[in-house]
A and B are shown apart, each in its own frame.
Chain A
Amino acid sequence: ILNVEQSPQSLHVQEGDSTNFTCSFPSSNFYALHWYRWETAKSPEALFVMTLNGDEKKKGRISATLNTKEGYSYLYIKGSQPEDSATYLCAFIVTGNQFYFGTGTSLTVIP
């Protein structure tokens, strides 16, 4: 079982603050890295699919970077809003079908 770590486990930020989380994964046998947002009582939804070292992706106020050589990815949220409150999961993919999920970062944005 591969170890995928996410930090912090949880955090609370004020509305308008910017924040970031980390996903750490093994630096070998990399195939892809996914970020998902999981709101309470809903299905996890993909934010980013990242495949290349140095990838930077952006969707609105949320962006992510990828460093496959050192085995980490950062997720950034600029100007957090209450609707950003969710658990953010990363998934490290070794082959096409082998996904290894982190335990997630639970974000609460306080109005």
Chain B
Amino acid sequence: GAVVSQHPSWVICKSGTSVKIECRSLDFQATTMFWYRQFPKQSLMLMATSNEGSKATYEQGVEKDKFLINHASLTLSTLTVTSAHPEDSSFYICSARPGQNTGELFFGEGSRLTVL
């Protein structure tokens, strides 16, 4: 199956700093990638849809100035958590899929962010 790689797996940062998370499709081109956040004991919540060469589409309630998404190539999308605060501490995971709309998602390994 297709492979999606996410980096870093975990990161600890100080409050007020910015953190960048990378999501790469290793063996396919992804014009669209998805960023999810998961709080403990909750489901994966879609934050935004990353579109190659254009602006990301953010879900309601997700601050686009807080969570900057860049999808500059067909194999790389980045999520930058700007001026992170403890309430941003969470598990972030990306996904992408080659092919048609009913196709399965391929996920990265996820990134655990802890903001001190």
Contact = CB atoms under 8 A, between A and B. Distances in A.
Interface of A: 4, 31-32, 34, 36, 41-46, 49, 51, 89, 91, 93, 95-104
A96 B101 contact: yes
Contacts of B103: 49
A42 B1 CA distance: 15
B54 interface: no
A42 B104 CA distance: 17
Contact of A34 (B32, B42, B49, B105): B105
B107 A96 contact: no
B102 A43 contact: no
Interface in B15-63: 32, 34, 36, 41-46, 49
B109 A42 contact: yes
Given A36-B105, A99-B34, 8 more contacts: A42-B109, A43-B4, A46-B105, A49-B103, A93-B102, A99-B105, A101-B45, A103-B43
A43 B109 contact: yes
Contact of A43 (B34, B36, B46, B110): B110
Contacts of B93: 44
A95 B34 CA distance: 14
Contacts of B109: 41-43
A44 B107 contact: yes
